[in-house]
């Protein structure tokens, strides 16, 4: 058995968790930014001519969506042959699950960013 054949299922399983990890990191980042801005009185400041909090939340959202696109990419590839020796997970299922998780995480990222982008902070 080659090294590539044994490493692939482990990577597929890690990609299944990656979508949720990116969503959680984005959630933490945007609400931490909002809390710091409210606490320090930074809501009126500008960054590149845009309000500080929405600009940073927009950047964080674009980064999260780009990472989720990278997680989704292996799921869209043509599936390889199944590797099921030793109780390993079925690669097609784990790739499908990673892709589904990445898509759902992308929807969650957008839904949690929109209120921060359109509503005034520190209400």
Q: Identify the pLDDT of residue 84.
A: 53
Q: Identify the pLDDT of residue 92.
A: 73
> Residues 69-76: contacts with CB within 8 Å, 24+ apart?
69/102, 69/106, 71/15, 71/18, 71/19, 71/22, 71/98, 71/99, 71/101, 71/102, 72/98, 72/99, 72/102, 72/103, 72/106, 74/11, 74/12, 74/15, 74/98, 74/99, 75/15, 75/99, 75/100, 75/102
Q: What is the pLDDT along the chain (123 residues), one digit of tens a residue?
A: 444 444 566 777 788 899 999 999 999 999 999 889 888 887 777 877 878 888 889 999 999 999 999 988 877 775 555 545 555 556 677 788 888 999 999 999 999 999 988 887 776
Side-chain half-sphere CA neighbours of 13 within 13 A: 8
Q: Identify the pLDDT of residue 107.
A: 97
Q: Identify the pLDDT of residue 30.
A: 93
Q: Identify the pLDDT of residue 48.
A: 77
- For the chain, the structural domain boundaries read 3-118
**pTM (predicted TM-score):** 0.79
């Amino acid at each position: 058995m080659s090294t590539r054949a044994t490493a692939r299922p482990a990577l597929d399983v890690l990609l299944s968790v990656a979508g949720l990890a990116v969503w959680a990191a984005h959630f933490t980042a945007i609400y931490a930014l909002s809390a710091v801005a409210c606490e320090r009185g930074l809501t009126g400041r500008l960054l590149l001519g845009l309000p500080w909090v929405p600009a940073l939340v927009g950047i964080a959202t674009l980064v999260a969506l780009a990472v989720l696109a990278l997680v989704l990419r292996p799921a869209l590839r043509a599936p390889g042959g199944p590797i099921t020796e030793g109780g390993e997970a079925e690669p097609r299922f784990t790739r499908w699950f990673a892709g589904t998780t990445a898509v759902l995480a992308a929807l969650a990222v957008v839904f949690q960013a929109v209120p921060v982008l359109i509503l005034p902070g520190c209400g």
